[in-house]
Chains A and B, each alone.
Chain A
Amino acid sequence: MKKDYTYAVARIRSRELSLLSRKDIDNLIGAKSYDDCLQYLYDKGFGDDGQDSDVSALLAAERKKLWSLMAELTDDLSPFDVFRYADDFHNLKVSVKAVTRDINPDGMFMQNGTVSGEKIYEAIKAHNYKLLPEHLQKSAQQAMTTLLQTGDGQLCDVIIDTDCLNSIYKKANETDSEVIKLYAELTVAAADIKTAVRCEKTGKSLDFIFSALAPCESVNITLLAKAAAKSIEDIYGYLSTTSYSSAVDALKTSPSAFEKWCDDKLIDSIKPQKSEPFTIGPLAAYIIARENEIKAVRLILSAKLNDLDSDAVNERLRDMYV
């Protein structure tokens, strides 16, 4: 039987009122100082009782609140695993490097994965990969073997990052939510395009490029890898034949402009969820919107701390969901 999300969606509708709007973002950019920004965010309910003055702690608290809310709204968080796999694979990367280099990973783990970073670390340390969730097992084994045999950190990262994208894509396609599928499609395609551009700039071989790309429906990785092995113009040429043709201009501008294009496309695509009352879509859209908001706040606070001018911030700011 299809799960009914009526109650959860009704609560999310009320929560959407407290998402930061474009006006709030403009107020934050216009704030005189970092402390004024923080005060504005505390007034909007950010942080735990206004105690966090550090950007990372403040935003980590917000992400924790987001996932606590989701756990409260639904008894099964597994449909949202696609949003949590990035934390899992980050923690796997930290664990693999901490074990092979014999360093203490405390404070380096992300907190909102499907399994705690400490558990991943313990499993990697014991070389007992069966203790890990299924989506991490193969990746952990391959990454450890590669790092121990070759000492090549970059190759290890490529293995974990590609498996992360594959896991997100696979998990998303197990759900019946169009929003989650769209999120996975855009995430994987954007990552592939960024990887292709980076590989072209660093002159990587066709085999390496191909191994670093994750398959998805909207991008043909064989053609993209071949284009990346030739020149940046070939990448632009290939992309102009896909649904990412309008991203070419952004790519030509800068990597951050392309990231903004991807995020804006995603936010634009999830906006119809504002009028959907029964499905998981609005919950997934809220998670994406909240992550987008956290990204925007991080950018503004970092700019305030480093005295960057507001034009530079505005250039990089994503569209907001509300």
Chain B
Amino acid sequence: MDNLGIIFGLIGAALATFMAGTGSAIGVGRAGVAASGVLAEDPSKFGKVLIFQLLPATQGIYGLLVAFLILSNIGVLGGDPNISAAKGLLYLAASLPIAFSGLFSAIYQGNCSVAGIGTISKRPDQFGKTILLPAMVETYAILALLISMLAVFNIPGLNL
């Protein structure tokens, strides 16, 4: 098949969006449930709990960014769509770090946000310290994003 390259590339873009997005949806949803619980008792904490709820949303954005770059490089969004099967597979491999790390880090960041929401419902003065804890989980999503982006940026220069 002549189109294998673009098929592999598209699968990579789909995985990055789907898996990281799913993780974010689970994390944001879980934190949203806890946030609703706090707001039912104390609506004045809306601003604080909203920030906690939004923390796991970033993985979905990272997945989208990597997918957009892949689509752009494989010619789906314009340009030359003739890429080799080997390059297509490389794009697929490049999408995996953000796909898997996005999925799991968003879920665990959501769990951590839920715990943080519980803490600030009792100790709103500890918001600054508490927000750092789920933010730590973000590190691993950023590392995965970095590797995925470095790979996607450098695949076109490879002579395959």
Contacts and interface: CB of A to CB of B under 8 A. Distances in A.
- The binding surface of chain B is classed by DSSP as helix
B118 interface: yes
Contacts of A305: none
B35 interface: yes
Interface string B6-41: 000000000000000000000000100111111011
B115 A14 contact: no
Interface string A267-282: 0000000010110000
A261 B122 CA distance: 28
Which size bracket describes the interface of B in this complex? 10 to 19
Interface of A is mostly: helix
A7 B42 contact: no
Contacts of B33: 4, 6-7, 10
Contacts of B36: 7, 10
Contacts of A234: none
B114 A6 contact: yes
A313 B27 CA distance: 48
Interface string A33-62: 000000000000000000000000000000
B38 A10 contact: yes
A10 B122 contact: no
A255 to B, nearest CB: 36
A13 B114 contact: no
Given A16-B122, A277-B34, A10 B114 contact: yes
A126 interface: no
Contact of A6 (B34, B41, B121, B122): B34
B145 to A, nearest CB: 27
B122 A13 contact: yes
Contacts of A17: 121-122
Given A277-B34, A277-B111, A9 B41 contact: no
B67 to A, nearest CB: 30
Contacts of A16: 122
How many residues of A sit at the interface, in one of the four size bands? Answer: 10 to 19
A282 B118 CA distance: 11
Interface in B78-119: 111, 114-115, 117-119
A11 B40 CA distance: 7
A17 B117 CA distance: 14
A8 interface: yes
A15 interface: yes
Contacts of B121: 10, 13-14, 17
Contacts of A6: 30, 33-34, 37, 114
Given A277-B115, A278-B114, A13 B38 contact: yes
Nearest to A7: B37
A275 B37 contact: no
A275 B122 contact: no
B147 to A, nearest CB: 31
B75 to A, nearest CB: 44
A10 B117 contact: yes
Contacts of A13: 37-38, 118-119, 121-122
Contacts of A11: 37-38, 40-41
Interface in A8-32: 8-11, 13-17
A278 B115 CA distance: 9
B115 A10 contact: no
B41 A15 contact: yes
A5 to B, nearest CB: 10
Contacts of A278: 111, 114
Nearest to A14: B41
Nearest to B38: A10
A13 B36 CA distance: 12
A278 B111 CA distance: 9
B34 A14 contact: no
10 contacts: A6-B30, A7-B33, A7-B37, A10-B38, A11-B38, A13-B118, A13-B119, A17-B121, A275-B115, A277-B34
Given A7-B37, A10-B38, A11-B41, 18 more contacts: A6-B30, A7-B33, A7-B34, A9-B118, A10-B34, A10-B36, A10-B37, A10-B117, A10-B121, A11-B40, A14-B37, A14-B41, A14-B42, A14-B121, A17-B122, A275-B118, A277-B114, A277-B115
Q: Which 4 A-B pairs have the closest CB atoms?
A: A10-B37, A14-B41, A10-B34, A11-B37
